[in-house]
A and B are shown apart, each in its own frame.
Chain A
Amino acid sequence: MNKISEVVKEARAAFQSGRTRPLQFRIEQLEALRRMIKERGPDITGALAADLHKNEWTSYYEEMVHVLEEIEHVIKKLPEWAADEPVEKTPQTQQDESYIHSEPLGVVLIIGAWNYPFNLIIQPMVGAIAAGNAVVLKPSELSENMANLLATIIPQYMDKDLYPVINGGVPETTELLKERFDHILYTGSAAVGKIVMTAAAKHLTPVTLELGGKSPCYVDKDCDLDVACRRIAWGKFMNSGQTCVAPDYILCDPSIQSQIVEKLKKSLKEFYGEDAKKSRDYGRIINARHYQRVMGLIKGQKVAHGGTGEETSRYIAPTILVDVDPQSPVMREEIFGPVLPIVCVHSLEEAIQFINQLEKPLALYVFSSNDKVIKKMIAETSSGGVTANDVIVHITVHSLPFGGVGHSGMGAYHGKKSFETFSHCRSCLVRSLQNDEAHKARYPPSPAKMSRP
């Protein structure tokens, strides 16, 4: 039996030992995870710097603080979430106990992504642990430093058999997906999402797929453009555009296009200075392949700002494109880079129609001072989630499920939703053996007038 099989087998045996069942155990593991983050902060930020040019602030603010809050929230709520939930009874079951009993699923596989390589693997892990599962982690090999770090530090703080880290590229991941898991959570592309779900189908393993898409950002004529552009610039260019919920492209009336460009430029200068390459707050593209891909999307476009890059450091300047043709390459794939196309539309209806002919995105943004515009945009489109008058923020609210729809994904997590995703909700009815006479009406032979002739 190869090494991957053995590791998964150990995790299953560890789960079957029953030690994850008591809440106290789960809480202790979560506290150990929290200690790991606090004690090894510098190692974590170091890995993020090496992989994606993140600095201390962005590491904490964009990755680690959300995990710490999740741990906090989960520890506090776990007794409530794990408790049996009584449900309404029917007239026939008034004397009985009826409730929903939450149970762990068993062994969960979490496949991480490279863009927020700490958060996107550890935040789901928190929910899986809380629900009482063993968790196999497969960090993205593209964010190599984080993958190696996790393989080192997680076993130092957490139960070694229950929470193994498996590293490797496509061949190892393919091997791993042949194993049987009780749930798989995958974050990444739609193409690989299909592969994961197909592999899961062989074992009837339920999946949560956190994918992506082109998250549209509609900017209404009636809005505070200064504020809108500041917020959009912040969300678009963080991590050099490599964020699954980044505003991918802007839709606006042509009459405000140049104002939007000016205000975006103003915010970019405020954030990153004249030359973003010199800013310690501006990220880098993960690898050469993605660098080429994103630079390729700029070709042939009308560049209003930026448009340059430096291959050796994988730096791409914050770039704004105007009068973009909806048929061009930059509008046919998720950009996942610091390139912001503006597509002109002449009305809210046109914007809605435009959005609806593309695949359902992971996020949708609408900026307007007019509530009616916001209501209509939400009512007539679909997406994983929505933030109005800002970007990204909806995914930081614990009580809102984080997930996609259609090609942007299936299932969701964060907060209580994580606990539910990684649990089985078992319906329970407990009756008494006394008084069987009360049930005699249900037994055959049925009353003469009801029998078949």
Chain B
Amino acid sequence: MDAFEDTARRLREAFSSGRTRPATFRMAQLEGLGRFLRENKQQLQDALAQDLRKSAFESEVSEIAMSQGEVDLALRSLRAWMKDQKVPKNLATQLDSAFIRKEPFGLVLIIAPWNYPLNLTLVPLVGAIAAGNCVVLKPSEISKSIEKILAEVLPRYLDQNCFAVALGGPEETARLLEHRFDYIFFTGSPRVGKIVMAAAAKHLTPITLELGGKNPCYVDDNCDPQTVANRLAWFRYFNTGQTCVAPDYVLCSPEMQERLVPALQNAITRFYGEDPQNSPNLGRIISQKHFKRLQGLLRCGRIAIGGQSDENNLYIAPTVLVDVQETEQVMQEEIFGPILPLLTVRSLDEAIDFINRREKPLALYAFSNNSQVVKQVLARTSSGGFCGNDGFMHMTLASLPFGGVGASGMGSYHGKFSFDTFSHHRACLLRRPGMEKINDFRYPPYSPRNLRVLLMAMEERSCSCTLL
């Protein structure tokens, strides 16, 4: 990829020149991002509508407002984040200056997916820029309309010596990954996450992988089915189910299932009307390939609600499946569509065992009026994040790190966590040449007396001193 070599060299030279180091430069870039969002809002909404049939409401809350919020937070907080972080010292270093210096890594690669193509590109970008890096962005080629705006419009708002967009599909991305980067941030599937990590290993490049999985949703008997159904339905069918943190499947008792199904029907009708295909609030599947995949999943279990599909406009109805076996395909892959399987369990313990037999998910949900039940689910499982009694609201708090664990990912971001992710935390200790007498203890030749003193000091529990 010769063309890219030149781009990489240009960005690295700009980085080496020190251009991205001053806060003023970074803030100017972040302000540019803010202007990009504000000045192109209509075009962005149109593009999201073209790519995923997102409603203006969804585009606003989940893409534009979230990106804008992160830009604003970074602008407000940058100087504080950039400050050297003083740390407590031990006895031997009392007179020294000890701090952690946050430094940019250098050249960062951000690979973004198609489902929230604006948010999942810009939010990491905010962090990488705030931390002082030069950035290569590889937007998804599948969400074509947004890709075009990111490639043609976004660079005008940023210093193009420090920012570039790389385009292409899997082949071009593989070639891109042969180059050396100083950090790689990837959002996508676990399968591709492994490929990215293996490529990063060749250059010892640190990474953050935001992957996915099947996010379980435990619904206790002690709850109001309609409230739960409203929340489940909203978070499941938002963006037509194409959300990495969407509730993927439900675990509940047979009795609760009986009450949940009609409640889910109420919620779906309330949200999308009698004919969801004509609702402006329901999106579409991103591509033929995913449409076909989801159509296949409709054959699992038994359709309790929905199940309709229309290949002509990649429409899949908000669907609820029951009588699903664990071995069926719908329980073997992340659904990433508007299909919600309900599986019955006989107890909380059975639900927890079921969850723990499987890969750690990106998100986990538990609904109950009984806070003890919610706490138990939390305590006895693991997942990237957790929300009790709602869907993925937890990711709207910039004070909470957003990331996975195990097969759902490694590393995290949002807010200050983004800045820290894209920074090297350099340990610094500044000593003085004076007071050399204190150091005498550490120099050879070593006497048995010194050893006795050291051992005695170790005996004293309260003394945490390194006698250097």
In the complex, the answer to whether A202 meets B425 with C-beta atoms within 8 Å is no
Q: Tell me the smallest distance from the CB of B467 to a CB of chain A, in Å.
A: 8
Looking at the complex, which of A50-58, A123-131, A162-170, A302-310 is the stretch in contact with chain B?
A: A50-58
In the complex, the answer to whether A90 meets B397 with C-beta atoms within 8 Å is yes
Q: Closest chain A residue to B428 by CB distance? A: A386
User: Max chain A CB contacts within 10 Å: which of B60, B367, B458?
Assistant: B458
Instruction: Tell yes or no: A407 within 8 A of B by CB.
Output: yes
Instruction: Tell yes or no: B405 within 8 A of A by CB.
Output: yes
Residues of B within 8 A of A56 (CB): 451
Bound state CA distance, A427 and B378, in angstroms?
Answer: 11
In the complex, the answer to whether A396 meets B468 with C-beta atoms within 8 Å is yes
Bound state CA distance, A383 and B424, in angstroms?
Answer: 9
Residues of B within 8 A of A223 (CB): 433
8 Å CB contact of B442 from A206, A234, A273, A447:
A234
Instruction: Tell yes or no: B174 within 8 A of A by CB.
Output: no
Give B433-456 as 1s and 0s: 1 = Cβ < 8 Å from A's Cβ atoms. Answer: 100100100111110001100110
Instruction: Tell yes or no: A279 within 8 A of B by CB.
Output: yes
Residues of A within 8 A of B429 (CB): 385-388, 390, 393-394, 397, 400
In the complex, the answer to whether A57 meets B451 with C-beta atoms within 8 Å is yes
Instruction: Tell yes or no: A2 within 8 A of B by CB.
Output: no
Given the known interface contacts A230-B436, A386-B426, the answer about A201 and B388 at a Cβ–Cβ threshold of 8 Å is no
Residues of A within 8 A of B388 (CB): 428-431
In the complex, the answer to whether B98 meets A198 with C-beta atoms within 8 Å is no
In the complex, the answer to whether B451 meets A65 with C-beta atoms within 8 Å is no
Given the known interface contacts A73-B464, A194-B202, the answer about A451 and B280 at a Cβ–Cβ threshold of 8 Å is yes
Instruction: Tell yes or no: B369 within 8 A of A by CB.
Output: yes
Q: How large is the interface on B (under 10, 10 to 19, 20 to 34, 35 or more residues)?
A: 35 or more
Residues of B within 8 A of A211 (CB): 204
In the complex, the answer to whether A393 meets B468 with C-beta atoms within 8 Å is yes
Instruction: Tell yes or no: B87 within 8 A of A by CB.
Output: yes
Q: Closest chain B residue to A448 by CB distance? A: B280
Given the known interface contacts A382-B426, A400-B427, A433-B367, the answer about A443 and B105 at a Cβ–Cβ threshold of 8 Å is no
Q: Tell me the smallest distance from the CB of B346 to a CB of chain A, in Å.
A: 22
Residues of A within 8 A of B432 (CB): 389
Residues of B within 8 A of A445 (CB): 271-273, 279-281
> Which residues in chain B, 1-38, are within 8 Å of chain A measured between CB atoms?
16, 18, 21
Q: Tell me the smallest distance from the CB of B391 to a CB of chain A, in Å.
A: 10
Instruction: Tell yes or no: A297 within 8 A of B by CB.
Output: no
8 Å CB contact of A399 from B89, B194, B368, B411:
B89
Residues of A within 8 A of B384 (CB): 426-427
In the complex, the answer to whether A424 meets B444 with C-beta atoms within 8 Å is no
In the complex, the answer to whether A68 meets B458 with C-beta atoms within 8 Å is yes
Residues of B within 8 A of A446 (CB): 55-57, 281
Bound state CA distance, A282 and B282, in angstroms?
Answer: 74
Instruction: Tell yes or no: A356 within 8 A of B by CB.
Output: yes
Interface size on A, residues (CB 8 A): 106
Q: Closest chain A residue to B410 by CB distance? A: A206
The DSSP consensus for interface residues of chain A is mixed
Residues of B within 8 A of A106 (CB): 406
Given the known interface contacts A190-B204, A234-B443, A430-B374, the answer about A201 and B386 at a Cβ–Cβ threshold of 8 Å is no
In the complex, the answer to whether A58 meets B399 with C-beta atoms within 8 Å is no
Q: Tell me the smallest distance from the CB of B190 to a CB of chain A, in Å.
A: 6
Residues of B within 8 A of A433 (CB): 223-224, 227-228, 367-369, 389
In the complex, the answer to whether B431 meets A390 with C-beta atoms within 8 Å is yes
In the complex, the answer to whether A202 meets B194 with C-beta atoms within 8 Å is yes
> Which residues in chain A, 249-293, are within 8 Å of chain B measured between CB atoms?
270-273, 279-282
Residues of B within 8 A of A282 (CB): 444
In the complex, the answer to whether A57 meets B228 with C-beta atoms within 8 Å is no
In the complex, the answer to whether B431 meets A389 with C-beta atoms within 8 Å is yes
Bound state CA distance, A411 and B282, in angstroms?
Answer: 43
Q: Tell me the smallest distance from the CB of B266 to a CB of chain A, in Å.
A: 12
Residues of B within 8 A of A436 (CB): 224, 226-227, 230-231
Residues of B within 8 A of A429 (CB): 385-388, 390, 393-394, 397, 400
8 Å CB contact of A194 from B88, B204, B228, B230:
B204
A-B contact pairs, 23 of them (CB 8 A): A93-B393, A98-B400, A201-B200, A204-B409, A227-B433, A230-B439, A270-B443, A279-B444, A385-B429, A396-B466, A396-B468, A397-B429, A400-B100, A402-B427, A425-B412, A431-B388, A431-B389, A433-B223, A433-B369, A444-B270, A444-B272, A444-B279, A445-B272
Q: A394-B427, A395-B427 are in contact. List 9 more A-B contacts (CB 8 A).
A: A87-B399, A87-B400, A101-B386, A271-B444, A356-B16, A385-B429, A388-B431, A410-B204, A445-B279
